[in-house]
Amino acid sequence: MALLRPITSTSINTEEYIKSAKEAPKFKVEALIKDYLFKQKKQQTLSQVQTFNSWKNPTGIAPDKSLTFDDLVKRIESNPNTPFSVADVWISSELITIISQFNRIPNIADCIRNLNYHNGLNWSALDTPSMYIAKDENDNYIMVSTKGGHRSVMSVLTLGFNCELPIRATYIGSLDLIEVCEQAAIDHHTDCNKRNNQTADDRIVSGTAADDYEMKEVMESLIDMKLYVKEGAMKSEKIDGFRKCTSWQSLKTSIKDNGYENTHYATEQIMKNTKSQEAIMSQSVEVIANFRNKFKRQIDNVNPMVYDTLSDFLKWYFKDITRNQSTLRADKDTQLSTITLAKLFNLWCQTNEYANREKAGRSMNGYKSPITARHIVDAFDDDKYVGFFAS
**Per-residue pLDDT at 190:** 63
* CA–CA gap between residue 263 and residue 222 (Å, rounded): 11
From the number of C-beta atoms within 10 Å of its C-beta (0-12, 13-18, 19+), residue 164 rates as middle
Give the integer Cα–Cα distance in Å for 35 and 297: 58
Q: Are 131 and 145 in contact (CB under 8 A)?
A: yes
**Residues 168-224: tens digit of each pLDDT:** 999 999 999 999 988 888 777 666 554 545 577 777 877 887 778 888 889 999 999
The torsion defined by the Cα of 114, 117, 121 and 125, in degrees rounded to 10, comes to -80
Quote the CA–CA distance of 262 and 255 in Å, as a whole number: 8
Give domain limits for the chain: 17-197, 287-390
Supply the pTM of this predicted model: 0.69
pLDDT of residue 257: 93
Q: Which runs of consecutive H residues, i.e. helices, occur in the chain?
A: 29-38, 46-53, 69-78, 108-117, 123-126, 149-159, 177-192, 200-209, 213-224, 248-258, 260-273, 282-301, 309-319, 325-328, 334-351, 357-360, 373-380, 386-390
**pLDDT tens digits, residue range 278-325?**
999 999 999 999 999 999 999 988 887 778 999 999 999 999 999 999
3-state secondary structure 43-89: CCCHHHHHHHHCCCCCECCCCCCCEEHHHHHHHHHHCCCCCEEEEEE
**DSSP states of 174-187 as a string?**
---HHHHHHHHHHH
Q: CA 302, CA 157: separation in Å to the nearest integer?
A: 66
Q: Which residues of the chain have pLDDT under 50?
A: 1, 194, 196, 357-366
